[in-house]
Amino acid sequence: MTDLRARQPDLLSLAPPLRDGIGRRFEYLRLSLTEVCNFSCTYCLPDGYRRPCNRPVELSPDEIGRAVTAFAALGLWKVRLTGGEPTLRRDFDAVAQTVAAVPGIRRVAMTTNGYRLAERAQAWRDCGISAINISVDSLDPARFAAITGHDRLADILRGVDAAQAAGFESIKLNAVLMRGINDDELEAMVDFVASRDLSLRFIEVMRTNDNVAFFAARHVAGQTVIDRLEVSGWTRLPRQPGAGPAIELGHPSAKGRIGIIAPYSQDFCASCNRLRLSSDGRLHLCLFGDGGIDLRPQLTGDDPAALLARIRGLVATKAPAHRLHAGDSGATPHLASIGG
């Protein structure tokens, strides 16, 4: 079987950058390793993960290697391992090492709920992961337990310390801001990262097919958070190469940084630079698109050129923007299904 990785130098020199029909360039792949999650967060899986009776088999490490190699050949250089909870895969370390070894991949990141972070931070750093995002939706233990279904805040915060000790280049805390649940913690969370070399990401609640009522009751507009921060002296920072969609702010007296991920803001999609591959091998051009396109036949086949052509042809059809403002969240049942 032809190994796409063996041909990577030639492919990298020949393939033009990957762009869509309106000229956006893609550098960033969000790779879901599993849709399974062991937390039951109110905004994502309030009833916990329910395994479908016909759940597809997850991509193997070899298939993942082929996929990442193809995307790298098309100019993507950053990969985020996500889920569900990606570390629930027993072969997570092997997958991380496979991705980090692909020529052209310069940064491997991961997103985790942090339940194993305190014990595994150094091992994951040694696997080649250099950036980590950790979900911390509250700094109050009881509230954290109410949101996630697990009384593990102290463990997660120990994991943050372990990640810092392990030398991750970037450590970010993700907090979904919800009206009447944790929006009164904004100042406390800002103070927490202001004294530490961390980034904090406030994420707007996003409407999906199974949370319409929750979204209506709990959504907090990201711009209101930006306004409050700017009044307190925080200012917008330049967007870094390969960065995700966050609007990032800094303060002259703060070590940490604050980011706002606001998909309902104006022109949110204009700078989109990321694609998503689900755990069963489906390419999602948008988190809120009409569904994924199956790449698995090309990932198991023996025609690297066909895989590259398929990806390039599909990306050319990417829509200019999502349709959230029209109340249309596409085919996404919940955020864990394709990696958020």
Give me the percent of the chain exceeding a pLDDT of 70: 88
Please report the pLDDT score of residue 1 as a whole number: 37
Q: How far apart are CA 263 and CA 52, in angstroms?
A: 29
Q: What is the pLDDT of residue 13?
A: 46
If one counts every other C-beta atom within 10 angstroms of the C-beta of residue 50, the result is 8
The string of pLDDT tens digits covering residues 10-20 is: 554 456 789 98
pLDDT value, residue 286: 84
Which of 9-13, 281-285, 324-328 comes out lowest in average pLDDT?
A: 9-13
**Has residue 118 got a pLDDT over 90?**
yes
Band of pLDDT at residue 237, cut at 50, 70 and 90? very high
Q: Over the stretch 127-140, which tens digit does the pLDDT of each residue have?
A: 999 999 999 999 99
**Averaged pLDDT, 142-170:** 97
Q: In terms of Cα–Cα distance, which of 156, 105, 110 is closest to 129? A: 110
Which pLDDT score is estimated for 2?
A: 42
293 CB-near residues (< 8 Å, 6+ apart): 282, 283, 285, 314
**Residue 10 is inside which H or E element, if any?**
helix 8-14
User: Quick one: average pLDDT of 177-202?
Assistant: 93
Q: Between these two residues, 116 and 2, which has the higher pLDDT value?
A: 116
Gap between the Cα atoms of 117 and 110, Å rounded = 11
Residues 288-303: tens digit of each pLDDT: 667 789 999 999 878 8
The torsion defined by the Cα of 12, 15, 19 and 24, in degrees rounded to 10, comes to 40
> Tell me, what's the pLDDT at 3?
55
Pairwise CA distance, residues 295 & 63, whole Å: 10
> Which amino acid makes up residue 324?
L
Considering the chain, what is the average pLDDT of its residues?
88
Identify whether the C-beta of residue 110 lies closer than 8 Å to the C-beta of residue 88.
no
Mean pLDDT, residues 47-61 taken together: 85
